[in-house]
Amino acid sequence: MSTVHQVAAHTSAPADPHSAIGAATALLDAFRRGDRFLATPTRTMLAHGVQREVPHGTAPVAERVAEALRAARSEGRTAPVVIGALPFEQDAPAALVIPETVRTGPALAYDPLVALPAAETPATAWTVRPEPEPEVYAKGVASAVDRMWNGEFSKVVLARTLEVTGPDELDLPSMVQRLARRDPAGYTFALPTGPDRTLLGASPELLVSRRGDRLVSNPLAGSVPRSDDLAEDVRRAAALLESAKDLHEHAVVVDAVHQVMAPYCSSIEVPARPSLIRTATMWHLSTTVTGTLARPEVSALEIASALHPTPAVCGTPTALARQ
């Protein structure tokens, strides 16, 4: 299952930012293992149970989701919602369901209680094993660089895994709490993807959203760590905006997003230069691509499936980089 930190959403209007104080953090606090949680810059969502799974099949995932939603409505469900994750490999099963219940609230960033620290958890002795081993990974990087010089790739992303083992079961609610409270203006997600498997993470990046006929994608590429020293932090941000290497990397991703979105749009706007977006730990080059949807029957999921994986998490050409 993909661990890509990108989010696709098909949304109505944002939740009221002036809703009761504590409404968003109450949803965050209520998350438990097996639930599905999503926090975005416009709303917070917590889902329980499974009313219907979207089946795996040969039809495009957007068609299978549409069929599952029609079936749910025919059974009397009003405004059913599908929530889940898409796999990195297109022929792998997705983890998409219609939950039994869905609770929504305003964005965490609007809730002053999100500034309160997460509860302390006992220290744990972890065993960490990299996969592949550093020497093997370094050889892979060297090979990829050689192939880029030979013109096979414009960009390639090499993944690696850290297998972390502890004496006790992972405290998923505490992990989600810390992720969400650290960057409440970003996208924090957690959902089961199989027996004893949970996909969770946090990212400032938006793959695509649709609200009415308006499409928005916010690709990020080109990054630098932040500094605790204010002057150095500002210097790093300014340098990132002028970095030829990072600007090229960013342009590759934005161009790919533009090319995929354009056929779905009657008009599309791409800023000439990126801006900066920050998290607690990183500066990123950011471009917000906006478009007007040409055909109202096209869902956010259909466009997300066409975009995923972007060069930001895979490379380009996509098919070759994916291998």
Catalytic residue annotation: 155, 205
234/239 Cα distance (integer angstroms): 9
The answer to whether 190 and 202 have CB atoms below 8 angstroms apart is: no
CB contact at 8 A, 217 and 270: no
CB 166 within 8 A of CB 145: no
Helix (H/G/I), strand (E/B), else coil: 81: coil
Cis preceding-peptide flag for 263 (omega within 30 of 0): no
What angle is formed at CA 40 by the lines to CA 86 and CA 158, rounded to 5 degrees? 45
3-state secondary structure of 307: helix
Strand-pair partners of 44: 39, 105
Contact predicate 181/282, CB 8 Å:
no
How many degrees, rounded to 5, is the angle at CA 203 between CA 194 and CA 120?
A: 80
- Could you give the CA distance from residue 72 to residue 53 in angstroms, rounded to a whole number? 11
* DSSP-derived secondary structure letter, 270: -
